[in-house]
Amino acid sequence: MLVAAVALIVVLTSRSGDDGGTTNAGGGEVFLQSASSSGPDPFTQTTVSSTGSAPPPSLPPRSGSAETGTPRVSGGTPGLYGGTKSVASCDVEQQVRYLSGEPAKNAAFASVARVSANEVPGYLRSLTPLQLRADTRVTNHGFKDGSATSYQAVLQAGTAVLVDDRGVPRVRCACGNPLTEPVAQKNPRTTGTPWPGYQADQVVAVAPSTTVVNVFVVYDPEDGDWFARKHGDTGGNDEPTSPPTSTSPAPCPPGSSPCPGDSTSPGPSTSSPGPRPDSSPPPPEPRPDSSPPAPQPDSSPPPPEPQPDSSPPPPEPQPDSPPPPEPQPDSSTPNSGPAPETSGEAPADPNTGGPAAARA
C-alpha cells in the first residue's frame, strides 16, 4: 500500500508538470539561475523594472515534498514576497507586447499557462508583480524550435516574477518564461554557478494557497517597511501595513534529542547506587535511607560486633555475685532474721530455734 501511494504521488506530480506542447530538455538536471540571468532559450527580452535584494523571510513550518525533497510553503504566506512600494517589479504591458508580436511564442506560452492564445494578455494582467525572498524551486520553460521546453530550476531570491491569485510564481520577468510547479527528479543534480549565500537545504517550493490571495503582504527592502498590494495590482494602490507576526515555535536543535533538561536524568541514575556507598559524602544519604538499622551495620560492622561481645561478661559476673550473700548469713546467725524474708534458705538454720519459735 505504501509503495502504491508513493507511486501515485509521483505520477500526479509528474502530470502536473506535463504542460501541453512542452518537451523535457533538462533530464535530471536542476539549473541554478541568478536573479539577473536570462537562462537558456528565453521567451522574451527582460521586462524587469525594479531590482533589489531582500533578506530571506521568516517562514512558518514547511511541509516537505516527498517527490522533490524540497520544503513547500503556501503561496499565501505573509512576507513570502518582496518588492518596492508603488513600483512594479515587472513591466506587464511590455510582456504583453513582446508576446503579441510573436504568435509562435504566444501560442507556446499559452499552452504552458493553459489558456488560449487570445487570453494571454488578460492572463498576464491578472498576475501580480513581486520579488522572490527565498531561493525557489520551479519548472522553468524555454522556447526552442517553435515549441516550449521545460527544465527544473532554482530561482535566486530577489528574482522578479509574476504571481497568480494562489501565490504561485507563473512568469519569470528576466526572460519572459512561463513557470509551473517543480517536478520530481529521479537523480537530481544541480548545474550552474551557486550565488553567495546559496544553500540547497534552504530552497523552497511554493504550493498554491487553499484560498484566493486578495492582498499580498510585501516586504520593501529599500526602507525596511511593509506594504499591502492587491492581487493583480502593479503598485498604484499599495498601502502601508503591519509586518506579519511569526507563530512558528522554535524547534529543538536537530540531533540533540536529549535536551538539557533530559541530559541531567541519566547522571543521577548511573551514580545513585554505586558511588554513594563508596564515597564519604553519601553516608548521610544512606542514613535516611537506612533509618532501619540494616544499612548502618553494613557501613561499620566491626565496631558494633566487638561492643556486644565485651558487654555480656559484666552481666555474667553479676548473677555469680549471689553466692557472696549466701556465705554472709552463714557467718552471722543473729542477723539471719532478715534472711528468711529475702530468700527461702532461712529454714536451713534449725539449730538457732529462732525461726521455729517465730513460726509457732
At 86-106, the pLDDT tens digits run 999 999 999 999 999 999 999
pLDDT at 57: 57
Q: Is residue 153 part of a domain?
A: yes
DSSP class per residue in 233-265: --STT-EE-PPPPP-PPPPPPTT--S-HHHHTT
Would you say the pTM of this structure is higher than 0.95? Answer: no
Q: Is residue 32 part of a domain?
A: yes
pLDDT at 270: 37
Q: Is residue 160 part of a domain?
A: yes
CA distances from 185 to 26, 30, 69, 173 (A): 10, 9, 10, 25
How many other CB atoms sit within 10 Å of the CB of residue 32? Answer: 20
* Mean local confidence (pLDDT), 50-66: 52
139: β partners: 152, 180
Band of residue 356 on the pLDDT scale cut at 50, 70, 90: very low
- Helix or strand or coil: residue 13? helix
CA distances from 93 to 88, 130, 176 (A): 11, 15, 12
pLDDT at 285: 52
pLDDT at 168: 99
**Cα-based angle 321, 326, 327 (whole degrees, multiple of 5):** 105
pLDDT at 284: 52
Give 89: exposed, middle or buried? Use CB within 10 Å, 0-12, 13-18, 19+: buried
CA distances from 242 to 53, 81, 198 (A): 20, 15, 29
Closest CA to 202 of 57, 82, 336, 76: 57
pLDDT tens digits, 294-319: 444 444 445 555 444 444 454 554 54
CA atoms within 13 A on the CB side of 1: 0
Q: Is residue 281 part of a domain?
A: no
pLDDT at 186: 84
Q: Is residue 337 part of a domain?
A: no
* Mean local confidence (pLDDT), 73-96: 97
* Mean local confidence (pLDDT), 219-228: 95
Average of per-residue pLDDT values in the chain: 73
Band of residue 52 on the pLDDT scale cut at 50, 70, 90: low
pLDDT tens digits, 186-207: 888 999 999 999 999 999 999 9
Range of lowest pLDDT (86-90, 105-109, 323-327): 323-327
| Residue 269 clears pLDDT 80, i.e. is over it | no
Question: Which percentage of the chain shows pLDDT scores above 70?
Answer: 55
| Residue 360 clears pLDDT 90, i.e. is over it | no
Return the higher-pLDDT residue of 108 and 350.
108
Helix (H) or strand (E) holding 95: helix 92-100
Question: In angstroms, rounded to a whole number, what is the distance separating the alpha carbons of residues 191 and 189?
Answer: 7
* Mean local confidence (pLDDT), 237-263: 56
Q: Is residue 137 part of a domain?
A: yes
pLDDT at 187: 85
163: β partners: 128, 169
Band of residue 343 on the pLDDT scale cut at 50, 70, 90: very low
Closest CA to 205 of 264, 128, 152, 275: 152
pLDDT tens digits, 110-125: 999 999 999 999 999 9
Strands 169-172 and 29-33: unpaired
| Residue 130 clears pLDDT 90, i.e. is over it | yes
CA atoms within 13 A on the CB side of 123: 18
| Residue 265 clears pLDDT 50, i.e. is over it | no
Q: How many domains does the chain have?
A: 1
- Quick one: cell of 37? 540571468
Q: Is residue 71 part of a domain?
A: yes
pLDDT at 249: 33
Q: Is residue 29 part of a domain?
A: yes
Question: In angstroms, rounded to a whole number, what is the distance separating the alpha carbons of residues 248 and 293?
Answer: 57
pLDDT at 184: 81
Structural domain span for residue 117:
25-240
Question: In angstroms, rounded to a whole number, what is the distance separating the alpha carbons of residues 299 and 216?
Answer: 75
Residue type, 337: G
| Residue 59 clears pLDDT 80, i.e. is over it | no
pLDDT at 344: 44
Give 286: exposed, middle or buried? Use CB within 10 Å, 0-12, 13-18, 19+: middle
Closest CA to 135 of 154, 152, 119: 154
